[in-house]
Amino acid sequence: MSISRANRLTPYMFMAPAAIIMAIALLYPLGYMVWGSFRDWDPTQTIGEAEFVGLKNYITLWNDPNFRESLSVTLIFASVVVSFEMVLGVGLALLLDRNIRGMSVLRTLFILPMMIAPVVVGLMWRYMYHPTIGTFNRMLESVGIDGVDWLGQHALLSVIIADIWQWTPFIFILSLAALQSLPRSALEAARIDGATGWQQIWHIKLPLMMPVLIVTALLRLIDAFKVLEVILVMTEGGPGLSTEIVALRISRTATEFRELGVAAAMSNYLLILLLLLTVAMFAITRIQEVRAARLARQIEEEG
């Protein structure tokens, strides 16, 4: 083997042990789940003892109105929380990207919610939404407004508000990092050309931040599809199926209904949906990276 070829292979040789371990840790559970989804499997059996039923579990789910309702709730929940978190997080980052006394303390305060355990967040908001002793209803009653059935009639909205409160700081941190890494030459050239603050945000900052913002939105979208603890503690998926997202239905199907094969098929449906979203977002990210690079070169040339 020549020295040049050995040099090319050296990085792959060092990566091989970690890649093998990751492949085993990832592919084995994934393959186990896929194989189990083709069987009529319950906790009293090993996967080898379960009857092979082919696509029956997938067809059953496809025709199940309860599963479609859970999928609908998941899509509504994920799209709403990610949209609001992106707007609020990016807005806060733009607002706090400046040198003001005490700004470091303020930034630290903003990220505290995401440090709290999801179970604790669920308990906090459940008590604040309590119909008689909850903070929100007491505030409404103090100004002469009747209390609201937060975890009943407005359960989905209540869960959305709690998620926005907890995870907007995540968007804020990444957006602020993207802002602070922007080329200062581009911003300085825009100021010299007489661009207002709003024009700098709309035409310079946001286009250059877009690749980071798209990846950030993708990470939050994937996580929003898998939210479990907060909803479980706050509403347990109720009332009815109004807050039962797919992740919660998977857990309930496996533990309460003891239908492991159906739960595995449901997990695969969710995995396919997330893979499609990931591929679409990465394609958009690539397009935005090209546009951002073109914009940066154009600004530098004009400057």
Lowest mean pLDDT among 27-36, 103-112, 255-264: 103-112
Which pLDDT does position 128 carry in this prediction? 94
CA atoms within a 13 Å half-sphere pointing along the CA-CB vector of 241: 15
Which pLDDT does position 27 carry in this prediction? 84
**Helical spans, DSSP H, in 237-259:** 246-255
Give the span between the Cα atoms of 34 and 226, in whole angstroms: 18
The percentage of residues in the chain with a pLDDT greater than 70, rounded to a whole number, is: 95
Stretch 214-220: mean pLDDT, rounded?
89
pLDDT band per the 50, 70, 90 thresholds, residue 112: confident
Encode pLDDT of 114-167 as tens digits. Answer: 889 899 999 999 999 998 889 999 999 889 888 899 998 899 999 999 999 999
Which pLDDT does position 302 carry in this prediction? 62
Encode pLDDT of 32-84 as tens digits. Answer: 889 999 999 888 888 888 899 999 999 999 999 999 999 999 999 999 999 99
Give the span between the Cα atoms of 84 and 23, in whole angstroms: 36
Domains of the chain listed by start with CATH number: 65-302 (1.10.3720.10)
Which pLDDT does position 162 carry in this prediction? 95
Nearest to 299 by CA among 190, 182, 184: 190
CA distances from 230 to 176, 226, 234, 263 (A): 27, 11, 6, 20
- Sequence length of the chain is 303
Give the span between the Cα atoms of 262 and 268, in whole angstroms: 10
**Which stretches does DSSP call E strand in 200-295?**
none
Amino acid at 131: P
